[in-house]
Amino acid sequence: MAEKLLQTTRADGSGDKKMDSSATPDLLKKIYRTMVVTRALGERAEVAQRTGKIGFYVPTLGQEASHVASTAAMEATDWIYPSYRNVGVALWRGVAIHHIVDQLFGNANDLTKGRQMPVHYSFPKGLFVSVSSPIGTQIVQATGTAMAAKIRGDRTVVSTYFGDGATSSNDFHTGMNFAGVFKAPVVFICENNHWAISVPVSGQTASATMAQKAEAYGFEGVRVDGNDALAVYAATKAAADKARAGGGPTLIETVTFRMGSHSTSDEWKRYRDAKEVEEWKKRDPIDALRRHIEKKKLWNAAEDEALWARVREELNAAFKVAEKVAAPPLETLFDDVYADLPPILREQRDSLLAERHAHQKDEGAAFPL
């Protein structure tokens, strides 16, 4: 039932042995390490934004298990349509830290050539489709890609992420309805972090849960503890397997909490009760998974300390390099749109380059006194 909350691991690290068997020891440790990198990246990026090095960042604090563990349950050939709070998805897919950091700076090494605002990543090799700012657009895009896979007869499954606020968008209805009618092999993952910027989930819907919304579209909705990495993994694996076998879509509601602000342009203390935040901190997904793998004798305090130190060192190095890289050359504005640049754009490009060349010559001249 959509009202039932699936849980496998409790805050003290103990868990359901039956559900625990769904993830191997190596997989559990990889999920944990990726969650740590995601958390540490957020901490370092916020420092960079506050010191004026980058313009913007969307923290993932408290939601790491939701998107890392769910991505771990997908196959490497599956496509992912993320939202802007899913950097852990890219990390799981093997995207190098320096590529992520370069995108935050929009420098010359940025794979998107500085054309997107920070955290709007696009990593084709990881089948990680470009993040968009408009809420919910990725839902219909993911459904379309899933239908293409079904028509082609391949075994690809598509997953897409969105917040509780996106369930109020037109794209949510359109994507869910189409997927339900045509049994598209797509896994919808609603990360219910209880707040759409300053709007609480109670102001977003009259439904008892987000998961039950799937029933109106004719398919299954599953509600899972989003801070329980094992539960998220198990629910997503089951949904992906079902979709791959022709069973159609699933809506997974990961019940989690955004422990920080919506973005670095926001201040959560203006609209949330600090007691609520403190209560959710006790359910920190990283702490819960660490305790679990420690109980299973897969991890220890020394390994944990070494991991955090190594990750922070790598992040500091990546940020130091990225901030020294120049902006993308102006002529790249004309790249990647047309295979053969139309005459009018060639003219504009040549004019821009000539103007820049003249400006550079003027800069080298003596001050005209």
Active-site residues, by number, are 258, 262, 271
Structure tokens that stand for 113 in this block: 């050539």
Q: Are strands 199-200 and 195-196 parallel, antiparallel or unpaired?
A: antiparallel
- Please give the Cα distance from 70 to 189 (Å, whole number): 9
Q: Are strands 250-255 and 195-196 parallel, antiparallel or unpaired?
A: unpaired
C-beta of residue 45 within 8 angstroms of C-beta of residue 73: no
C-beta of residue 95 within 8 angstroms of C-beta of residue 71: no
Structure tokens that stand for 33 in this block: 């390490």
The secondary structure of residue 62, as a DSSP letter, is T
Minimal CA–CA distance to 284: which of 98, 9, 83, 16? Answer: 9
Q: Which amino acid is at 41?
A: L
C-beta of residue 49 within 8 angstroms of C-beta of residue 101: no
